[in-house]
Amino acid sequence: MTPVITMAAARYRYPETDHDALGPIDLTVLPGEWVGVVGPTNAGKSTLCYVIIGLAPQFFGGRLRGEVSVFGSPTASQPVNERSRRAGLLFQNPFTQLSGARERVDEEVAFGPEAHGLPQAEVEERVAEALRLTGLQDLRARHPLDLSGGQLQRLALAALLAMRPELLLLDEPTSQLDPAGSRALFDVLRGLHAAGTTIVMVEHRLEAVAAMCPRVIALGEGRLLADGAPAEVFNRPEVQASAGIPAFARLAALVGKGPPLPVTFESAVEALRG
């Protein structure tokens, strides 16, 4: 099975800095995986997304060493807008992801497919599909600025989905959302994962990561601290010290359950009952 992402001894350094923001990192992500990325501030989580999509170094400048390939193509040799045919990146701030040029939700979603030169009939089909997947069908005629934060983030996701990416990178997609908005977004992601989309999700809600991502990687100071199942990663002392642990695990630790600490709601309930 050809990996979706391959990183071998990858290091990245932003311009005018004297240390690597990321790396060295070795990482392989296979098709259909859902990988959660956790770590404290400045751990290199966003930089990891930028390196995979190619914005670093193509947009930021700086120096990339080692090997980074997505779908077998080295990121250094493929422009980011070319890569957008197969991979998408959802940023933290939904507001700045708007094209800033469209007056309706459906026109906003159509922006990417149109930039790809798709025929209008296919653009419309993809827009309808993306709006349905994100539950925005009823808002298609609204102005994007009239949407709530949660709706706006779903619109940003719909805009990416309209390009039918096989790889979806999410950089703290719920950081500006309320619990209801986050739940709605996670529901969409569950559906995409079930349909086979590969997802790499940077997320600070550790409970959500533990519950949804079968694989978690923890970063610290740009390096890979741990890589494995949530129960394994969140029980590593170095991860607990830097990224923290899900609230359920903290609760279990307080009442003397573990190690190993339960990291999901269900396992915590079981441990507390036992």
Partner 1 sequence: MARGLSLYAEGSSPLHRAHPLTKATLTLCAIGLAFILPSWPLVLGVGVALLSLLAAAGVLRRFLFVAAGLLVPITLLLALVQSLANPHNQTVILPLGPLAVHREGLYIGLLAALRIAGLVAATFLFSFTTRPADLAEALMQRGLSPRFGYVIQSALQIIPQSLETADRIRDAQRARGLETEGPLPRRARAFIPLLLPLVLSALVATQERAMALEVRGFGLKVGRLARYRIPDSLGQRMLRWGLALAVVAALAARLLGWL
Cα distances from 75 to residues 58, 70, 204, 260, in angstroms, run 9, 7, 26, 39
What is the 8-class DSSP label of residue 139? G
Among 32, 80, 125, 166, contact with partner 1 (rule: CB under 8 A): 80
Choose the stretch contacting partner 1; rule: CB under 8 A; options: 18-26, 115-123, 200-208, 252-260.
Answer: 115-123
Number of residues that bind partner 1 (CB under 8 A): 42
Please give the Cα distance from 90 to 97 (Å, whole number): 8
* Residue 128 near partner 1 by CB under 8 A: no
The distance of closest approach from Cβ of residue 80 to partner 1 in the complex, given in angstroms and rounded to an integer, is 4
Question: Tokens 């990996």 — which residue?
Answer: 3
Neighbours of 200 (CB within 10 A): 27
Three-class secondary structure of residue 242 per DSSP: helix
Q: Which long-range contacts (CB under 8 A, 24 or more apart) does 49-53 make?
A: 49/89, 49/169, 49/170, 49/171, 49/200, 49/202, 50/12, 50/89, 51/7, 51/10, 51/12, 51/22, 51/75, 52/5, 52/7, 52/87, 52/169, 52/200, 53/80, 53/83, 53/87, 53/89, 53/169
Q: Scanning residues 161 to 200, which ones bind partner 1 (CB under 8 A)?
A: 163
- Which is closer to partner 1, CB of 157 or CB of 263? 157
* Residue 100 near partner 1 by CB under 8 A: yes
Among 40, 67, 116, 221, contact with partner 1 (rule: CB under 8 A): 116
Choose the stretch contacting partner 1; rule: CB under 8 A; options: 21-29, 94-102, 201-209, 216-224.
Answer: 94-102
Strand pairing partners for 228? 216
Choose the stretch contacting partner 1; rule: CB under 8 A; options: 16-24, 35-43, 81-89, 194-202.
Answer: 81-89
* Residue 145 near partner 1 by CB under 8 A: yes
Choose the stretch contacting partner 1; rule: CB under 8 A; options: 7-15, 27-35, 114-122, 263-271.
Answer: 114-122
Residues that bind partner 1 (CB under 8 A): 53, 55, 59, 80-82, 84-85, 88-89, 91, 93, 95-103, 107, 110-112, 114-120, 123, 141-143, 145-146, 156, 159-160, 163
